[in-house]
Structure 1
């Protein structure tokens, strides 16, 4: 029996997902576009997500392609899996990456479940990444466009998810995606990319966190012990960020270099303060994509999207997975994800403790 050529395509209203849908139509798939409504403001929690206009852009593209577009409401799941996680992590003093959880639980979680309910075996999005099948396992591959590559945000995906995913843009560069969109006559061909929290929009993180996290003022102290100000709560700061106080006497700008949670003190220092640099971290919640490797082993790793790929050695310890960098790294931030690579393959990753 020939497998179904039906596919659900997440269409956000942006150019990447629009061109992805067009490519799949061209390849002979029966494409069903899906707009995922993951956010709308409530009395106590507001963003700036203009979902109605985003959906309108997706509807226009769907009409041009001659495909249906359905709207699926995943707000409850998004709040449970992404927003609650975000606030929990910040409250504990860590700096989370909600986009990773959005991909794991929403775009390739509940959307995939919805596809299966409809008897559809595949889902696709406009992510810059790829999936291959070799040696009895599915592999997450980096995109040709190294600047746009989004495997960092996808590293928590598992075999039973990758099995059902198609990424049409793996071998296409962003400039060519825009070119294709113009040639297809898409009105969103030169639309600005969405920024900010996944699906919530470019709202100020400080303002967003302030809707649930109450200020807890404390002292701001330099790494040599000088008191230089007062902060409004440790959750509102992350390692390596510029400290926003006015500097007196033409001093060098200050950066957040550490947090003393017990004493509620924010520690600041120069851009290259020794407290900002570490050679090793421990991870929790590690997901190995193709299979768990024999430890120890050496590979490449990055600890932020678009960050430099660094040489590391990975060890199994009682405390968890230990990652040792060949060179000291600046601002290895608890709560962020560290992701492993072997050349062009993303091996998985976990949360920095």
Structure 2
């Protein structure tokens, strides 16, 4: 058995983080539960199964720590969360991109600010309830997919560096969710059957467009077809995402009678372009600010990529490159998708896999259509 460690258990108030903390205690580690207060104005109760930053969640985390017999602290990280996650989310949508705030939170809050504070206080690492696995590989520690494919969260952990992984612990990676709930019940944890949180934690009612409208105000523009014909006006391009079908309210049907989807968003003019589903197919993309979970690939890599949190894997070839990005020189990757993907937008993350191992991630800046008659980018 390895030597006991002093660990911070990030306890969200849900079943997964509670059982993860319990398993760390069972392994003989000196565990302190920490709940992150991320909201400046936390709601007393969540709306349905949304959110993870309410007063109710903090109380649930405290009760779980009491059952486990471990110290419990609350760390106020609302300022860091607002600056690094919420403000970034608003700015990305204003720029016509589609961010993933969970990746941003993992990168900047849970495995940067929290880990930095924990190490500064003399702890050895952080335990979380993420479904992912850490394994020793030939070149060091590796991040792998979880056993429970339906709960796998390796995608949102693809932003972690080798140094951060060295101080991370994911006790649930080898378990399935039903077993975790059953274990919580056996341990007497009241959160055993608490619903999982979904959607964006700081948008309590799940109405992203309404929330963004409050932040960004009315920014009128038009919805057009691929020929430039204006179909209607709108109050803000931030209410739309690439691949969106519902809520377009176009009125006049397409000539072929088929549904139309958002193909492109131009944030300066506020123009939203729509067209048929087959025109969503992406065959290649470019992404910047790569973060590698170990040594970066030296050459082209035959691999798979995942393009959204619960999306499918796509066979791909990934090439690390250097090149101009937004007027500056920055590291980047170019990705050829052997299996075209739909609804891929700038701002999303591409996470690279070698089998079950996470190689790294990057932020998508441009995509290239898979259509033979349209090799342009968006």
TM-score range, shorter chain: over 0.9
Match of 1:309 in 2: 313
Aligned to 1:289: 293
Alignment of 1:323-338 (within 5 A): 323-338=335-350
Where does the alignment leave 5 or more consecutive residues of structure 2 unmatched? Answer: 324-331, 366-378
Whole-angstrom CA distance in 1 between matches of 2:52 and 2:23? 27
- The answer to whether the Cα contact below 8 Å between 2:52 and 2:197 also exists between their aligned partners in 1 is no
Relative distance call for 1:132 and 1:200 in structure 2 (3 A) is farther
Once the two structures are TM-superposed, the CA of residue 243 in structure 1 deviates from its matched residue by 4.3
Cα-to-partner distance string for 1:14-58 (whole Å, 9 max, x where unaligned): 00001111111111112110000011239xxxx976621111111
Question: Is 1:280 paired with 2:292?
Answer: no
2:64 aligned with 1:61:
yes
Deviates more, 1:193-202 or 1:72-81: 193-202
Q: How does 1:143-154 map to 2 (within 5 A)?
A: 143-154=146-157
Superposed, which structure 2 residues align to 1:26-105 within 5 Å? 26-41=26-41, 51-105=54-108
Match of 1:307, SS?
coil
Aligned: 1:266 with 2:272: yes
Alignment TM-score, normalising by the size of structure 2: 0.86
Q: Could you say if the C-alpha distance between residues 283 and 52 of structure 1 is closer, same or farther in structure 2, counting changes exceeding 3 Å?
A: same
Distance 1:49 1:67, change over 3 A: closer
State the distance in 2 between where 1:180 and 1:125 align.
16
- Tell me the residue number matched to 1:343: 355
Whether the aligned pair in 1 keeps the contact of 2:297 and 2:320 (CA below 8 Å) is no
Superposed CA offset, 1:153-173 (max 9, x none): 011111221111110001000
For the Cα contact (< 8 Å) 2:31–2:70, is it kept in 1?
A: yes
Question: Counterpart of 2:195?
Answer: 192
Task: Check the 8 A contact 2:224/2:232 in 1, yes or no.
Answer: yes
Structure 1 residues 138 and 202: CA distance shift in structure 2, 3 A: farther
- Closer, same or farther: CA 50–79 of 1 in aligned 2, 3 Å: closer
Instruction: Quote the offset at 1:3 in angstroms.
Output: 5.1
**Post-superposition CA distance 1:188-218 (Å, at most 9, x none):** 1111111122455443111221232122112
Q: Which among 247, 252, 262 is matched to residue 258 of structure 2? A: 252
Task: Give the Cα separation in 1 of the matches to 2:267 and 2:291.
Answer: 29
> What's the Cα RMSD here?
2.0
Alignment partners' CA distance in 1, 2:184 and 2:349? 33
Give the superposition deviation at 1:317: 4.0
**Conserved? CA contact 1:286–1:350, under 8 Å:** yes
TM-score, normalised via structure 1 length = 0.92
C-alpha separation between the residues in 1 aligned to 2:204 and 2:253? Answer: 38
State the match for 2:18 in structure 1: 18
SS of 1:189's partner is: helix
The verdict on how the C-alpha distance between 1:329 and 1:190 changes in structure 2, with shifts beyond 3 A counting, is same
Provide the C-alpha distance between the structure 1 equivalents of 2:228 and 2:95, rounded to a whole number of angstroms.
24
Within a 5 Å distance, the mapping from 1:199-238 to structure 2 comes to 201-238=204-241
Give the superposition deviation at 1:322.
0.8
Of residues 207-216 and 120-129 in structure 1, the stretch that sits farther from structure 2 once superposed is 207-216
Secondary structure, in 3 states, of the residue corresponding to 2:119? helix
Q: Helix, strand or coil for the counterpart of 1:350?
A: strand
TM-fit CA distance, 1:291: 0.6
Which consecutive residues of structure 1, in runs of 5 or more, have no partner in the other structure?
none
Per-residue deviation, residues 277-329 of structure 1 (Å, max 9, x unmatched):
22000000111211111221210001011211111011244543110011322
Instruction: Please give the secondary structure, in 2, of the residue aligned with 1:35.
Output: strand
